Amino acid sequence: MRYLLDTNICIHLIQRHPPELLRRFQEFNYGDLVISVVTLAELRHGVERDPSIKREAERALDDLLAYLPVLPLDNAVAVQYGVLAAAVRDRRRDALDRLIAAHAASLGLTLITNNEADFRDYPGLIVENWV
């Protein structure tokens, strides 16, 4: 089974906390856990936000990316984004979270997040919290 990791899970992994998440992460083979290019963009934003720790943050992100393939967006993600946006049109949702949800749903991947409420009510999306 393959899983798509949300940005907050990647941050937990970079911070090496909680230990249970790290242990679970180590149980998987390369390619079983992946991230969206949208997550990479969010993580890069975090790296650029504080120049005083940029070098350290880049190193930590590079270390994480050595274990996580980054998946590009495609037309199927765009179609799924439209489906999800229409399903929750009356609720305010973050567009980047919706893109991550659409990416997971378009590939039939389970989304791993610590912010389950952000992904509630999206049809066809399977969400797990490993924290």
DSSP 19-51: HHHHHHHHTSPBTTEEEEHHHHHHHHHHHHH-G
- Please write the tens of the pLDDT for every residue from 64-90: 999 999 999 999 999 999 999 999 887
Q: What is the extent of the structural domain holding 40? A: 3-128
pTM: 0.95
Q: Collect the ranges in the chain with pLDDT lower than 50.
A: none
Q: What is the CATH number of the domain that holds 24?
A: 3.40.50.1010
Q: What pLDDT score does 121 carry?
A: 87
Counting the structural domains of the chain, the total is: 1
pLDDT above 90 coverage of the chain, percent: 93
Please, are residues 2 and 32 in contact by the beta-carbon 8 Å criterion? yes
